[in-house]
Amino acid sequence: MEEQKEGIVPDNEAGFQTNTESVAELNSTEEAKSFFSTVRERFLNVSNWQHWAGKATADFKLTDEKGNLIVDRTPQKGDHFKIDIPGPGPATGDGYDWVQIEEIQETSNDNDESVCIRVRPATNPTNDHDDVAHFFSDDATSSFVVKREGNKVMTAVYGRNEKPNTKAETILDKARNTAIASGAISGLSKLQWKSLVDGLLKREI
């Protein structure tokens, strides 16, 4: 399923990159189509991701472009993820890390189908601060993918150009971002994403 990276996942030009994938193999294509539909529904309910990843992981909330919580529709380009990660949050983010959806792609045919969301660290849409409210700089992206090929369903997260956000307005936020980004780069983000991609493929409700 390597070809899915083309188009939605940028090249890694500077910083670190991560690839986190999980695959479920079903007994038939028809069973895989049904399971893909279930996983797709879970995937598009961003505010419920922690349910599938586990309570010890980050809590994601989907908001509109102004930071208002969304409860009645699927993600759209321009929306934000408001992220509460374990540990202290940035002051500029009012305690949360923020990313914005910059691309959504969805395809469907008899042989394969997919839905992909790419996000990028962003400013906090609920205040007037101009600095990016995330521990990674806005060069970084995270691309989330759910895909079916034949009788296999895959979930994946691809991180690219991951570097600490050292341009925060406050010294405390700079120190916090450097510490958390270093932890993420050393493997903590991989644990987060592995919990999510495995959780989305759980067969039980």
Tens-digit pLDDT string for the chain (205 aa): 444 455 789 999 999 999 999 999 999 999 999 999 999 999 999 999 999 999 999 999 999 999 999 988 999 999 999 999 988 889 999 999 999 999 999 999 888 999 999 999 999 999 999 999 999 999 999 999 999 999 999 999 999 999 999 998 889 899 998 999 888 776 678 899 999 999 999 987 5
pTM score of the predicted model? 0.93
Give the residue among 170, 145, 147, 175 at the shortest CA–CA distance from 158. 145
Distance in angstroms (rounded) separating the CA atoms of residues 19 and 63: 26
Strands 112-121 and 97-108: antiparallel
Cα radius of gyration (the chain): 17
| Helix or strand run (H / E) with residue 4 | none
Distance in angstroms (rounded) separating the CA atoms of residues 202 and 205: 8
In CATH, the number for domain 2-200 is: 3.30.530
**Taking the domains of the chain in order of start, what are their residue ranges?**
2-200
Give per-residue burial for 119-141: e unless 16+ CB within 10 Å, then b: bbbbbbbbeebebbbbbbbbbbb
